[in-house]
Amino acid sequence: MKRFLSAATALTLTACMIPALPQITANAVTNEEIVADQLSMPIVAIDTLGNGVNSKDSYTDAKVTIYDENGNIDTDNSDISIRLRGNITLRVDKKSYKFKFPKKANPLELGDGAAKSWNLVANYFDTSLMRNMAAYHLGDILNGMPYSANSCSVEVYVDGKYQGVYLLTEAVNVSKSRINITENPDLVEDNGYLVEMSFYDCDNPFFIEHQQYDVKSDLSEDESISKQQVEYISGYMDDALKALKSNDKEQAAQYIDIPSLVDNYIANEICKNVDSGWDSYYISKDAGGKLTFNPMWDYDLALGNFIDVKGYSSAAGLGVYNVSNCNANSNQWMCYAIQNYWFREAVTVRWKEVYEDVKTLPEFVTSEAEKNAASYERNFTRWNSLGKKVFSEPDEIAELSTHKAHAEYLANWLDERITWLNIYFASDDWNGGTYLDENEKSIDPDNAVAVSTLMFWGGTGEIDVDSPGFTAEASNAAWGGQALSTGIMLFKGQKYKLSFDYTAPDTASIDYRIQANHDNYKVYMSGTVTPDSTKHLETEFTADIDDANCALVMEFKGSGTVKVEHLSLVAIDSETLMGDVNMDGEFDVSDLVLLQKWLLAVTDTELKDWKAADFCEDNRLDVFDLCLMRKQLIAKTQTS
């Protein structure tokens, strides 16, 4: 199984990007002393029985005592098992935890029902400590998604030592009060499935158009049945995605719970979630039901708190990973959905229904921050992260020196974001499928470079994200550094055009190549431009491999200042032969039979080029196209 490095986090994974935290020690205190010092939040006190919590892979036995906000005991010295949780966040000292009760419980009556598994989320990369909470509250508002995780802020002690403010939240799992789907692990079609889109290590992985998914619900212990189960849900999701791409609402609605996808899109667009195409994106399917998009999960790097992808810190503009499907971090469901007029129309209608409730989000943040101000401030006596950069947040966030200022920033960002979307979702641009960026300029969804992460690796220079392009000093060093556009997707057999303008002295040249951004960095195409050649390069190539995570690499050789502008990598559509839906180069009776089977929803029927059957030119396929295809085929036969 391939493992890919997220383009959005390619730089931030390096150790130098994560500042070393001071090793703060605190004297252990008893539970009586803990509750005596309580401020405004509930308290979770964990006793690891001398074991500590040191692993993400294995649980350790512990005890937990939980006090409500008034200091009353909610959970008294109960047995739990506990482990670490997270991925990149495991690198910092303020760890997140997952814990389980031996029997179902509902601490603080937080959930809609009792369950075994719960999370304590550290939110270290979000100095407001409230982005996840705000996102889950948004999920409650957008009730087209059947489930949103319940959560509340708590202060946590581990082995009597204060650990700061955490978010106590339900874990994402199958349960009557959470993802309420059928559990028949020894059945295939009559079983329910919870699936996560994730490029991290997976237990039950499958791929759909390069995107990796993992079955998170229980599968059969019988290996042959579990294989059938993975094949079933992956096949169903593949058919659903093809239906969504077909631009046929009725076809898509056979597989997809459209209201949940509409609300899920709105939620992720409000939050500008940079990871919606990389990890923690959940989809469920009940036995006999359709794909349902829920719940929202993991938003600490959303809501303006990330700068490594163009435009994601701004309250204006669409998230580029929701617009274009040519990047490894793109969310294929949202990218294909918004290409359909009927889906954009459904978003506009739904937005009008929920706007009055959605616009209360800034007030929700402000109220939570004021209510628990003392507890939030105390977090920073344990973690000295105010007024400094903790990960990849904008400088204006990193400079904020109080929690109140962080809360105000988040509330203001949300207010600006909701206002911008309210105008945009009612605009001719949205209605006509023109997607605007943070500068109110049209996003080119076909240009893979326009929606990629631009960076320098091992060299120096300036990045022009608007062009897009680079300016750098050429070097005669054997390896003088690279300018990169990362996260690009290649599809086998697809033809691409690479083009850019450049300025360079006669002492410099530019080496360019497209290569794998993982494993052995295999080169798929390459070339060189020199000052003697034209100042504009345009070259075409056909990909001979499927690769979801490639990089366009440029090296500037020699000496002098080199400038590259208007970088573009686009897929070139082959000329459509009307009627040739199986793409065998001929329009004949086999195409007519294939379209008829497809319209009848015959299993395993695929149109390789659905546009070739759109004889009515209305961006949908139905029996009228079939009639016109038959008429054209008869005319073609009579002519020949």
User: In the predicted model, is pLDDT for residue 8 greater than 50?
Assistant: no
Q: Rounded to the nearest 5°, which phi and psi values hold at 86? A: 115, 180
User: Above pLDDT 90, what percent of the chain?
Assistant: 72
Mean pLDDT calculated for residue range 25-36: 85
- Structure token digits, residue 94: 């303020």
Structural Rg of the chain based on CA atoms: 27
> What are the tens digits of pLDDT across the range 520-529?
899 999 999 9
pLDDT band of residue 576 (cuts 50, 70, 90) is low
- CA torsion sign for 249, 250, 256, 262 is positive
Buried b (16+ CB within 10 A) or exposed e, 115-153: bbbbbbbbbbbbbbbbbbbbbbbbbebbebbbbbbbbbb
Decide which of 242 and 601 is more confident.
242
User: In the predicted model, is pLDDT for residue 1 greater than 50?
Assistant: no
> What are the tens digits of pLDDT across the range 130-156?
999 999 999 999 999 999 999 999 999
User: In the predicted model, is pLDDT for residue 460 greater than 90?
Assistant: no
> What are the tens digits of pLDDT across the range 101-123?
999 999 999 999 999 999 999 99
Least confident stretch, 21-25, 273-277, 468-472, 585-589: 21-25
User: In the predicted model, is pLDDT for residue 470 greater than 70?
Assistant: yes
pLDDT at 493: 85
Please say whether the beta carbons of 140 and 169 come within 8 A: no
Q: Rounded to the nearest 5°, which phi and psi values hold at 604? A: 65, 25
User: In the predicted model, is pLDDT for residue 310 greater than 80?
Assistant: yes
pLDDT band of residue 224 (cuts 50, 70, 90) is very high
pTM for this entry = 0.84
pLDDT at 617: 74
pLDDT band of residue 213 (cuts 50, 70, 90) is very high
User: In the predicted model, is pLDDT for residue 86 greater than 90?
Assistant: no
- Structure token digits, residue 88: 């990149």
> What are the tens digits of pLDDT across the range 290-309?
999 999 999 999 999 999 88
Q: Rounded to the nearest 5°, which phi and psi values hold at 422? A: -60, -40
pLDDT at 21: 31
Closest CA to 9 of 171, 197, 200, 195: 200
pLDDT at 17: 33
Decide which of 40 and 27 is more confident.
40
User: In the predicted model, is pLDDT for residue 5 greater than 70?
Assistant: no
User: In the predicted model, is pLDDT for residue 216 greater than 70?
Assistant: yes
Q: What is the 3-state secondary structure (H, E, C) of 519-578?
A: CCCCEEEEEEECCCCCCEEEEEEECCCCEEEEEEEEEEEECCEEEEEEEEEEEECCCCCC
User: In the predicted model, is pLDDT for residue 15 greater than 50?
Assistant: no
Least confident stretch, 326-330, 364-368, 386-390, 620-624: 620-624
Q: Is 585 left (phi over 0), alpha (psi -120 to 50) or beta?
A: left
> What are the tens digits of pLDDT across the range 318-350?
999 999 888 888 999 999 999 999 999 999 999
Mean pLDDT calculated for residue range 244-270: 96
User: In the predicted model, is pLDDT for residue 7 greater than 60?
Assistant: no
pLDDT at 411: 98
Please say whether the beta carbons of 447 and 570 come within 8 A: yes
Decide which of 256 and 277 is more confident.
256
Closest CA to 605 of 251, 89, 228: 251
Could you tell me the domains of the chain? 18-442 (no CATH), 453-572 (2.60.120.260), 589-639 (1.10.1330)
User: In the predicted model, is pLDDT for residue 3 greater than 80?
Assistant: no
